[in-house]
Amino acid sequence: MIKKDQIIVKEGEPVAKYQIEILKDLGLLNSNYHFEWYIYICLSILILLIMFLQWFYLYKYHNNVYSDTNKLIMINILNCIAILLARSLSVISPFLIPLACIPMIFTLLVNYKVSLAISALNCVLISRAVEFSPEITILALVNVVIGAVILKKMQQRNDILYSSIYISIMNVILTFSVGFLLSNSVADVTQKALLACIGSILSGILTIGLLPFFESTFDVITTIKLLEISNPNHPLLKRLLMEAPGSYHHSILVGNLAEIAAEEVGGNPVLARVASYYHDVGKIKRPYFFKENQLGSDNPHDKITPNLSTLIITSHVKDGVELAKQYKIPKAVRDIIEQHHGTSLVKYFYVTMKNSSERPDDVKEEDFRYPGPVPETKEGAIIMLADAVEAAVRSISEPTKGKIEEMVNKIIKNRLNEGQLDNCNLTLKDINKIRKSFLKVLTGIYHQRIEYPEDKWANK
């Protein structure tokens, strides 16, 4: 009977007949032992099963990720990296494997829920790569949870490194705890804890290194990237402030409205706020054709035809997309710039043209509409509504709560009736939540102020 870890024959020593018999009985003299076909079949079935479960989870609970080919390819590449790291570093020591790396990247590139599910399933393959070591399996599962959740609300890239330090402390504690349950050797457990600590720091370094590659290659937007481009010192935002100050301040207010509304309906509040800052950057090219930038000067639209006015007004969408590309603004924000007016009607110039035309029936609505497309995300739809609502409420001469509510209801109803919200995955319940959040913010901004009585004795 052969015991576990028993040495049968040492390298370089003569082999006795009984040793050969033992090796034969164990199948170790069969040169094809490591290449048995059934091993490959079992491993292939395991990998396919893991992939199926991952895809099924995405299809069932995160259809927006499942329908995004870029993200699916990215997820599969990250899965492969996780297995390659486990296989390659386990040769040195399985405790060196950066177990938290891929969960952290998943959280940053997709979200923490996807990270938890995908990475937990990957733990099965990582365990197989390290011969189902109980210590590594426990470490892997704990690192998946911590790595996925710890970066859920990160604010800057340095947070990745700070998180890896926190994870390393947890891994050292865990390695000592589990290690002493399985071994009495203090030196052995200490060595494993040190290697686990190095592996955790390596997780942070690899995450920082790999993240920009995946951001740029797959055009995936992260909270970090959004926060970076939300800086008022960003060159494009500075241009908007200097060249179209009215549009800049309007965009800030739209951002406040959109962020709160996105939180109410489970959207991405950071994306909603930051995309709001950029939604009108196209107005930089012709700022004085937009009311908020005229500052009491003559209205240039009075000197041109309604058709030309419409062309100038609607072109700020195309100009905005071009500027966003020029300044390398992420695609998710560019899409919202393109969609924030949908195919809505430039009603003022349409009505003006009909009233001034000798043949009003020949005036076509299509010539006075934005080119679209309509919003395809919650954030895009919220910004469309916030943009229209803020501009309309600002135009009310003496705003009251009743007037503001009437205007907000009217605009939302019009957008619904026009079909502008058909493709954005918002329910009527969501739209009502958005309406209420708008009213709360707008009544706070445009409330009537108390008229203070004059102090007759002030100058006496």
Residue 208 falls within a domain, yes or no?
A: yes
Residue 454 falls within a domain, yes or no?
A: no
User: Residues 252, 371: one domain?
Assistant: yes
Cα separation, 393 vs 442, whole angstroms: 8
Output the CA–CA distances (angstroms, integers) from residue 270 to 282, 371, 428, in the order listed.
21, 27, 23
pLDDT of residue 268: 92
Dihedral over alpha carbons 141, 142, 144, 145 (to 10 degrees): 120
Q: Give the pair of three-digit tokens for residue 347.
A: 């009603």
- Give the range of the structural domain holding residue 116, as residue numbers without chain letter: 63-219
pLDDT of residue 398: 86
Domain boundary (194, 219, 244) is at: 219
- Helices then strands (H, E): number in the chain? 19, 0
Residue 136 falls within a domain, yes or no?
A: yes
Q: Which of 294, 333, 300, 340 is nearest to 317 (CA)?
A: 340
User: Residues 417, 433: one domain?
Assistant: yes
pLDDT of residue 447: 66
User: Residues 197, 334: one domain?
Assistant: no
Per-residue pLDDT of the chain (460 residues; tens, 9 = 90+): 666 667 777 766 767 767 777 776 666 665 554 456 777 788 888 889 999 999 999 999 998 899 889 999 999 999 999 999 998 998 899 999 999 999 999 999 999 999 999 999 999 989 888 878 888 999 999 999 999 998 887 878 888 999 999 999 999 999 999 988 887 788 999 999 999 999 999 999 999 999 999 998 998 889 889 999 999 999 999 999 999 999 999 999 999 999 999 999 999 999 999 999 999 999 999 999 999 998 777 889 988 999 999 999 999 999 999 999 999 999 999 999 999 999 999 999 999 999 988 888 888 999 999 999 999 999 999 999 999 999 999 988 888 999 999 999 999 999 999 999 999 989 999 999 999 999 999 998 886 655 556 555 555 4
pLDDT of residue 28: 63
Residue 304 falls within a domain, yes or no?
A: yes
User: Residues 240, 383: one domain?
Assistant: yes
Judge whether 185 and 203 are in contact, CB under 8 Å. Answer: no
Residue 46 falls within a domain, yes or no?
A: no
User: Residues 209, 100: one domain?
Assistant: yes
Judge whether 340 and 320 are in contact, CB under 8 Å. Answer: no
Give the residue carrying structure tokens 């560019």: 334
Helix (H), strand (E) at residue 80? helix 69-90
Domain boundary (219, 253, 283) is at: 219
Judge whether 239 and 284 are in contact, CB under 8 Å. Answer: yes
Per the structure, the count of domains in the chain is 2
User: Residues 389, 261: one domain?
Assistant: yes
User: Residues 252, 327: one domain?
Assistant: yes
Residue 309 falls within a domain, yes or no?
A: yes
Cα separation, 256 vs 372, whole angstroms: 24
User: Residues 248, 212: one domain?
Assistant: no
pLDDT of residue 456: 56
Q: The pTM is what?
A: 0.81
Cα separation, 92 vs 5, whole angstroms: 19
Q: What is the CATH number of the domain that holds 252?
A: 1.10.3210
User: Residues 182, 304: one domain?
Assistant: no
User: Residues 278, 215: one domain?
Assistant: no
pLDDT of residue 106: 95
Q: What is the CATH number of the domain that holds 124?
A: 1.10.1760
Residue 26 falls within a domain, yes or no?
A: no
User: Residues 393, 283: one domain?
Assistant: yes
Domain boundary (219, 247, 278) is at: 219
User: Residues 182, 296: one domain?
Assistant: no
Residue 292 falls within a domain, yes or no?
A: yes
